[in-house]
Amino acid sequence: MSAPTSNPISGDRSAVAGVRFDTPADAPGFDTLEPWQLNPKVALRPEPFGALLYHFGTRKLSFLKNLTVVGIVKSLADHDSAEAALLAAGISPAQRPLYLQALTALADSGMIVPRSA
């Protein structure tokens, strides 16, 4: 599968073809079948362009420039899995790689964390 040419964190909503649905291969560090949530140490502040995320532990600031990503991040705790949050947001198979890339980046930076059962 070719690498996405854009990043939904930056606001581009273009799609990429060649989607695979086996989550571990799609995003090795991010399992969409597990429950996720916004890190309790992170504040999400809505902005006209999307949102600001501030991690009080690491003092890292991130910008979400895509309202769909903001909605997914906000809804993670309301769903049994990240997969359910993606489906509820209406993410198409063609859009899936871009949103997995965004969620993986947020997980890698500690902005979202696995939720305990």
DSSP characters over 11-80:
T-----S-----HHHH-TT--TTS-EEE-TTEEEEEETTEEEEEETTT--EEEE--HHHHHHHHHGGGSS
The pLDDT of residue 28 is 52
CA dihedral of 52, 50, 44, 104, whole degrees rounded to 10: -90
Q: Which distant-in-sequence residues (6+ apart) come within 8 Å of 16 by Cβ?
A: 2, 4, 5, 94, 95, 97, 98
The pLDDT of residue 24 is 40
Give phi and psi for 2, each to the nearest 5.
-75, 155
Give phi and psi for 74, each to the nearest 5.
-65, -35
The pLDDT of residue 87 is 96
> How does pLDDT run along the chain (117 residues), one tens digit per residue?
333 334 444 433 333 222 333 444 444 568 999 999 999 999 999 999 999 999 999 999 999 999 999 999 999 999 999 999 999 999 999 999 999 999 999 999 999 999 985
Give phi and psi for 60, each to the nearest 5.
-85, 140
The pLDDT of residue 30 is 85
